[in-house]
C-alpha cells in the first residue's frame, strides 16, 4: 500500500530526525510554501521536466520513465501539493519530489541524483522574475501609448511652463507630455537591457561548485527559454543581482513619475485650474461641499515611493551577506519582490487611466499665458538681434521694461513702445522699432512658433518628436514580444520533447 500524498515512508534527511517545529512551520515555512505554490510552482515544474529530459539524454533514466515523470509533474498544481512538516519539511522542492514519487508506477532510483535545491530555486526565481518583467514592460508600453495619444492631441494648445515654481515660458501640454513619453521609452530601453543581461540560466550550477554528471547546461538553458547558461557556478547560485537591477529601474521610473504627478496635482488645484477629471476619478470633501478633489493623484505619487522602498529593501537584504547561496538572500531578501512588480504596474495603470480621461482647460491656461510677461526672453533676443543691443544689456532693458509696465498696470498685450524706448535710452540705446519687438515678444501663439531648435515646444517640432517616439515604441513592442514569445515557445517545446 503506497503512502498517502504528503507522507512519505522514506525520510528526507539522515542528519535531521525531527520535522520542523510548529513555530518554524507557521511563521516561515508555510507562508513561503504558499507563496511559491501560487507564484513559482509552474517554473519549478518546468525545471523538473528539463532535468528529467537531461536524465534521459544521459541514459540515467529510461525514456519511458522520463515521460512518466513529465506527465506526473504536469499534474502538480497548487491545489494538489501541500506543505507538510513530516512529509516534505514544508519545502516546495521536496513536496514536488514526493508528489511524483508517490504516483510513480515503480521506483526510479536515479531520479534526483546529483542534484541541489540551490540552483533549482535560483532558476525558478529568475524565471518568475523574467515573467513578471515581461508583464511590467507590457503595462509600461500601454502607458506610453496613452501618453503619446494625449500629447498628439494637445501639441498646439498654449499653456504656461514653470521653472523654480514661477511662470517662465509658453509651452503646450503636448510638449510636456512628449517628455513623459520619452522618459517611458528610456525606461523600456533600460529594462530591455536589464532583461537581456539577466537572461542567463543558473540551472546545472548545483550547490555552488558545479555538478558531477555531464549535464548539458546550454541545452537546459535553451529549453527554459534563456539565451545561455550562466558561466560561473558560484555566481549562478549566489547572485540575486537581477532583482536589484530590476527594482533599481523601477525606483528611477518612480522618481520621474512622482514629479509628473506633482505637476498634475498643482495643475488640478483651484489656484491653477488647468485640468479636470471625470467624477469617477475624483473625490469630495466630507465637510466642504464646494470642493472637487483628485485623490487619485495623491495615491499615484504616494505609490511611487514604494518603488524606491522595495528597491532599498532588496539592497539591504543582500548587502553584507556571504557570496554564496543562503536563505537570507534567496528567500528573505526577495520577500517583497512581487510587491515591487505589483506596485509599478498599479502606478502605470492608474496614471494611464488619469491621462486617458484628462481634460485640459484651454481658457485657464491661455489666461495665464496672456497675463504673465512670458515673452521677456524673446524681447531680450530681439533687442540684441534686431537693435544691436549687447545681450546682457538687453536682458537688463527687458527686465526693467517689464517692471515699469507692470507698475503701470499694463498687461503684456498692452504694449508701450514709448516706455521701452525710454528705458533703452536710459542705457544709451535708441531703438528703431520698439513697437514691433513688443508685439512679437508678447504674442502667445508667436512665442511657440519662434522656437526653431529640434526638441522645442514648436508644434511642428513636437509632432516630429512624437513621430520618432511612435517608431521607438513600435520597436520596443517588437523586442519585448520577441522575448516573451521565446519564453512561451520554450515551455511548449519541453512538453513536446517529453511526448506529453
The DSSP result for 406-442, as a single string, is HHTT--TTS--HHHHHHHHHHTT---S-HHHHHHHHT
E-state strands within 78-220: 159-163, 166-171, 200-201
* Integer Cα distance of 67 and 6 in angstroms: 22
Q: Residues 180-200, buried b or exposed e (16+ Cβ, 10 A)?
A: bbbbbbebbeebbebbeebbb
Cell digits of residue 488: 512561451
Which residue in this structure is represented by grid cell 550562466?
230
Q: Class assignment of domain 118-367? A: mainly alpha
> What pTM was estimated for this model as a whole?
0.93
Cβ atoms of 300 and 350 closer than 8 Å: yes
Backbone phi, then psi, for 228, in 5-degree steps? Answer: -165, 170
Cβ atoms of 102 and 63 closer than 8 Å: no
Element (H, E) at 120: helix 117-153
User: What's the confidence (pLDDT) of residue 6?
Assistant: 37
> Which among 359, 116, 284, 142 has a CA at the least distance from the CA of 215?
116
User: What's the confidence (pLDDT) of residue 12?
Assistant: 75
User: What's the confidence (pLDDT) of residue 10?
Assistant: 65
Residue 86: how many other CB atoms lie within 10 Å: 14
Residues 6 or more apart whose Cβ sits within 8 Å of residue 488 = 225
Cβ atoms of 273 and 368 closer than 8 Å: no
Residue 364: how many other CB atoms lie within 10 Å: 17
User: What's the confidence (pLDDT) of residue 446?
Assistant: 92
Residues forming a β-bridge with 157: none
User: What's the confidence (pLDDT) of residue 292?
Assistant: 81
**Domain covering 373-449, topology:** Ribonucleotide Reductase Protein R1; domain 1 (1.10.40)
* Integer Cα distance of 131 and 155 in angstroms: 36
User: What's the confidence (pLDDT) of residue 122?
Assistant: 97
Which regions of the chain are under pLDDT 70?
1-10
Burial of 68 (0-12, 13-18, 19+ CB in 10 A): buried
User: What's the confidence (pLDDT) of residue 4?
Assistant: 41
The strand pair at 359-360 and 275-276 is best described as antiparallel
Cell digits of residue 284: 469630495
Q: How many residues does the chain have?
A: 500
User: What's the confidence (pLDDT) of residue 302?
Assistant: 97
Which residue in this structure is represented by grid cell 469630495?
284
Portions of the chain given CATH number 1.20.200.10: 118-367
Element (H, E) at 176: helix 173-197
Portions of the chain given CATH number 1.10.40: 373-449
Residues 6 or more apart whose Cβ sits within 8 Å of residue 52 = 61, 66, 69, 70, 73, 111, 498
* Integer Cα distance of 187 and 137 in angstroms: 9
Amino acid at each position: 500500500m503506497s503512502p498517502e500524498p504528503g507522507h512519505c515512508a522514506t525520510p528526507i534527511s539522515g542528519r535531521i530526525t525531527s520535522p520542523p517545529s510548529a513555530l518554524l512551520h507557521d511563521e516561515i515555512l508555510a507562508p513561503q510554501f504558499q507563496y511559491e505554490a501560487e507564484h513559482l510552482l509552474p517554473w519549478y515544474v518546468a525545471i523538473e521536466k528539463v532535468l528529467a529530459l537531461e536524465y534521459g539524454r544521459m541514459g540515467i533514466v529510461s525514456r519511458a520513465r522520463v515521460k512518466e515523470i513529465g506527465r506526473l509533474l504536469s499534474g502538480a498544481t497548487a491545489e494538489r501539493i501541500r506543505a507538510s512538516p513530516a512529509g516534505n519539511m514544508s519545502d516546495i522542492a521536496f513536496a514536488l519530489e514526493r508528489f511524483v514519487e508517490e504516483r510513480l508506477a515503480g521506483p526510479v532510483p536515479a531520479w534526483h541524483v546529483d542534484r541541489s535545491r540551490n540552483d533549482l530555486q535560483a532558476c525558478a526565481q529568475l524565471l518568475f522574475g523574467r515573467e513578471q518583467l515581461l508583464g511590467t514592460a507590457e503595462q509600461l508600453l500601454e502607458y506610453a501609448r496613452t501618453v503619446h495619444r494625449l500629447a498628439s492631441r494637445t501639441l498646439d494648445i498654449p499653456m504656461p511652463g514653470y521653472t523654480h515654481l514661477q511662470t517662465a515660458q509658453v509651452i503646450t501640454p503636448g510638449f510636456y507630455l512628449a517628455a513623459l513619453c520619452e522618459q517611458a521609452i528610456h525606461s523600456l530601453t533600460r529594462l530591455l537591457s536589464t532583461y537581456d543581461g539577466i537572461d542567463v540560466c543558473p540551472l546545472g550550477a548545483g550547490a555552488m561548485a558545479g555538478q558531477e554528471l555531464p549535464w548539458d547546461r546550454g541545452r537546459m538553458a535553451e529549453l527554459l527559454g534563456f539565451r545561455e547558461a550562466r558561466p560561473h557556478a558560484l555566481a549562478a547560485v549566489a547572485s540575486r543581482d537581477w532583482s536589484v537591477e530590476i527594482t533599481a529601474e523601477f525606483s528611477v521610473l518612480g522618481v520621474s513619475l512622482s514629479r509628473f504627478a506633482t505637476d498634475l496635482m498643482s495643475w488640478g488645484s483651484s489656484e491653477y485650474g488647468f485640468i479636470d477629471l471625470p467624477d469617477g476619478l475624483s473625490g469630495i470633501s466630507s465637510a466642504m461641499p464646494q470642493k472637487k478633489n483628485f485623490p487619485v493623484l495623491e495615491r499615484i505619487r504616494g505609490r511611487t515611493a514604494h518603488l524606491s522602498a522595495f528597491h532599498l529593501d532588496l539592497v539591504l537584504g543582500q548587502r553584507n551577506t556571504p557570496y554564496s547561496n543562503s536563505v537570507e538572500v534567496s528567500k528573505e531578501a526577495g520577500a517583497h519582490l512581487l510587491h515591487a512588480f505589483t506596485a509599478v504596474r498599479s502606478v502605470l495603470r492608474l496614471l494611464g487611466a488619469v491621462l486617458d480621461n484628462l481634460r485640459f482647460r484651454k481658457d485657464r491656461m491661455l489666461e495665464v499665458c496672456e497675463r504673465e510677461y512670458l515673452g521677456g526672453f524673446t524681447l531680450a533676443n530681439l533687442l540684441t538681434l534686431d537693435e544691436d543691443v549687447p545681450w546682457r544689456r538687453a536682458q537688463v532693458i527687458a527686465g526693467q521694461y517689464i517692471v515699469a509696465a507692470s507698475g503701470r498696470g499694463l498687461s503684456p498685450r498692452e504694449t508701450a513702445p514709448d516706455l521701452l524706448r525710454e528705458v533703452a535710452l536710459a542705457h544709451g540705446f535708441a531703438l528703431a522699432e520698439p513697437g514691433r519687438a513688443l508685439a512679437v515678444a508678447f504674442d502667445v501663439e508667436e512665442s511657440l512658433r519662434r522656437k526653431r531648435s529640434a526638441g522645442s515646444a514648436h508644434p511642428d517640432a513636437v509632432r516630429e518628436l512624437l513621430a520618432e517616439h511612435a517608431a521607438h515604441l513600435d520597436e520596443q513592442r517588437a523586442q519585448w514580444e520577441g522575448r516573451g514569445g521565446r519564453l512561451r515557445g520554450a515551455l511548449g517545446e519541453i512538453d513536446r520533447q517529453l511526448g506529453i
